[in-house]
Amino acid sequence: MDVMGNMRRTHYCAEVGTEQVGETIVVAGSIAKSRDLGGVVFADLRDTTGILQLAFGDATDAGVFEKAAGLKAEYVVMAAGTLQKRESVNPTLPTGQVELFVTDLRVLSAAETPPFEVRDDIKVKDELRLRYRYLDLRREELHRAITLRSRVAGVVRAYYLAQRFVEIETPMLIKSTPEGARDYLVPSRVQPGRFYALPQSPQLYKQILMLSGFDKYFQIARCFRDEDLRADRQPEFTQIDMEMAFADEQDVRTVNEGLVKAVFEEVLGVELQTPFPCMTYTEAMERYGSDKPDTRFGMELCDVSTVVSGCGFGVFAGAVAAGGSVRLLNAKGLAEKLSRKEIDRLTETAKTYGAKGLAYLRLAPDAETSSYEKFLSEEEKAALRAAAGAEAGDVLLVVADKDAVVFAALGALRLEIAKKQGMIPEDRYDFLWVTDFPLFEYDEDAGRYMAKHHPFTMPKEEDLDKVESDPGACRAKAYDMVVNGIELGGGSIRINDPALQARMFRALGFSEERARENFGFLMDAYQYGAPPHGGMAFGFDRMVALLVGKESIRDVIAFPKVQNAGELMTGCPDLVEEKQLEELQIASTASAEVPEASEAQG
RNA sequence: GGCCCGGUAGUUCAGUUGGUUAGAACGCUAGCCUGUCACGCUAGAGGCCGUGGGUUCAAGUCCCAUCCGGGUCGCCA
């Protein structure tokens, strides 16, 4: 069916203006909106660039006018005509000075009334948007985000290529390794009973590439983790992954500051100051209660452990005695904003992070109330107030517990209060590096130390001798790039000494056999000469979300998954045919116990 | 796995202490309208109140279970 005939697009909708007035042009797209005024018809034509108004009136051929009067939302059309100045300008539209006086109109495809209007200024439930994602993607905001994502990828490629990085694809079907996130598994048909994993990241391959002599590698890589979703976490996501040889921490940071600077400049026109400030992990935790601090506002944590260590309040003194700490936030001048009810709410937040409670002192003008001062002597009260810098109008929020709980709770409260009270300046990008991460993290469930970053991370030189004797005190040559409280990316210098790598595996509780079984190929590879190297990976989805000002990465992914890791448009994951399972030699679950396959949207 | 929020016309929502015929706006349909752009005016259609049980004379409303979506803790080397 040759509906277009010999008609071909000459211009995109939003790429015409007063300069083209008088020209005969052809545009193509979907009808966003039509306004039939009787003797004259207007229709907004939308294509990937934006909107152009089509006009039909007295001078329009009767046949064309009839077609125009029948236009409905989402009809796909081609329109030829003469671009003309409008009688009345629409200042809200980029093409609002002009319109196309249509002389030939072809309806290429009719359309059913969509389940929701294809406009930005309308609220629609996520579920519906995702079920009809192709309609959602027509809406300008999402359409632009996806287009911008492509531009960012272009800038990234151009930047790394200019710096002599080589783009290399690594396999998607790989060996499953323990440690870290749960793998997505793919059964092998050819080798029954065996499984591939989908990569959580190209980590091992990029390290191998460094000792394959490629010097500098990058890839915009899809990664998979079979873990629960969040607003900023999808089971499949995209990383900007890079690695470089003969580099130390500073080299990696400098290259990637340059990358981020280039992206912000070319995509947003925002100039970032480099180098970014650095802050150690310890400092970040002590000051902000977070390893990804939002430094756009203050309200830093205050450690009052020494002040209350011997005090009369058992909760405080006990926490310190047990090796924990007592820290607080001083919500300056917020006594009137933070009512008792509000403090109760904050207490609930603190509890979700494991705190047993939230002690407070509220210095409101009418009355000073406190949940803990009654347990303290006058001197202790005064000392604590002084340590916190408490003044009239302030609220102190105190958590006493293990450090990890104290930091998590106060870090979360700090953000919650700041958000609610509007203390966070928008339109600002506070970048920083968080450095010197712990090398290990004690896992209570596993009863052993686990790698905080991954087991190939180089320890700091000064902590090398503590890998076995005091793992908890070891710091790593690892760094995260943080902006506005978002972890944008992270990386490390890798171990390139097989002997040190073996020590790491031992410290992590790997037996010789287990280490060989899982990482033998890597340990072998490092026997044949490995340059010092390091790298990092950015969360590409998070980066794009940051650039378009979205909280959820779903808003920058064309076809995202929902909380149960399904995809609503196609209805996956879904059951498969018995025959497929037989080929893979996978026992089928009794079909009676399995729910009906969900119907894909047709 | 835990906790919180939501599910009522196509859409977004309202719906009182359980009480007669479940409303609004937008969209949709029909008619009118020659400069609109959130066009306007008139009329109209449109409801398994997520689903299944229960309580009650009576359930959109209360209880239990379950499904779906969102947020979050755990989890995410």
Strand B contacts (CB < 7 A) among A residues 103-122?
113, 115-117, 122
What is the mean pLDDT of the segment spanning A554-564?
96
Q: State the pLDDT at residue A189.
A: 95
pLDDT in tens, A305-319: 999 998 989 999 999
A591 beta carbon < 7 A from strand B? Answer: no
Q: How confident is the model at residue A121 (pLDDT cuts 50, 70, 90)?
A: confident
A227 beta carbon < 7 A from strand B? Answer: yes
If you measure CA to C1', which residue is closest to nucleotide B34? Answer: A39
Q: State the pLDDT at residue A597.
A: 38
Short-list A317, A358, A313, A309, CA closest to A338: A358
Instruction: Give CA–CA dist A30/A74, Å, rounded.
Output: 5
Asked if pLDDT for residue A534 goes beyond 90, the answer is yes
- pLDDT averaged over chain A? 93
Chain B: positions less than 7 Å from a protein CB are 1-2, 10-13, 26-29, 32-40, 68-77
A200 beta carbon < 7 A from strand B? Answer: yes
Q: How confident is the model at residue A4 (pLDDT cuts 50, 70, 90)?
A: confident
What is the mean pLDDT of the segment spanning A324-346?
93
Strand B contacts (CB < 7 A) among A residues 160-179?
179
If DSSP codes are grouped into helix, strand and coil, which group holds residue A150? helix
Q: CA dist A545 to A160, A531, A557, A563, Å?
A: 21, 35, 9, 18
Asked if pLDDT for residue A135 goes beyond 60, the answer is yes
Q: State the pLDDT at residue A166.
A: 98
Q: How confident is the model at residue A587 (pLDDT cuts 50, 70, 90)?
A: confident
Indicate the residue type of A251.
D
What is the mean pLDDT of the segment spanning A252-277?
98
Asked if pLDDT for residue A598 goes beyond 50, the answer is no
Phi, psi of A143 (to 5 degrees): -60, -45
Asked if pLDDT for residue A601 goes beyond 60, the answer is no
CA atoms A382, A388, A394, A399: torsion sign = negative
Q: How confident is the model at residue A177 (pLDDT cuts 50, 70, 90)?
A: confident
* A441 CB-side CA count, 13 A: 11
pLDDT in tens, A470-521: 999 999 999 999 999 999 999 999 999 999 999 999 999 888 898 999 999 9
> Nearest nucleotide (C1') to the CA of residue A182?
B76
H or E segment at A261? helix A249-263
Q: State the pLDDT at residue A1.
A: 61
Q: CA dist A108 to A30, A57, A80, A169, A184, Å?
A: 10, 22, 13, 40, 43
Task: Tell me the two tokens of residue A70.
Answer: 């029948």
Q: How confident is the model at residue A602 (pLDDT cuts 50, 70, 90)?
A: very low
Asked if pLDDT for residue A593 goes beyond 80, the answer is no
Instruction: Give CA–CA dist A548/A545, Å, rounded.
Output: 5
A446 beta carbon < 7 A from strand B? Answer: no
Q: State the pLDDT at residue A5.
A: 85
Strand B contacts (CB < 7 A) among A residues 406-445?
408, 412, 441, 445
> Nearest nucleotide (C1') to the CA of residue A114?
B10
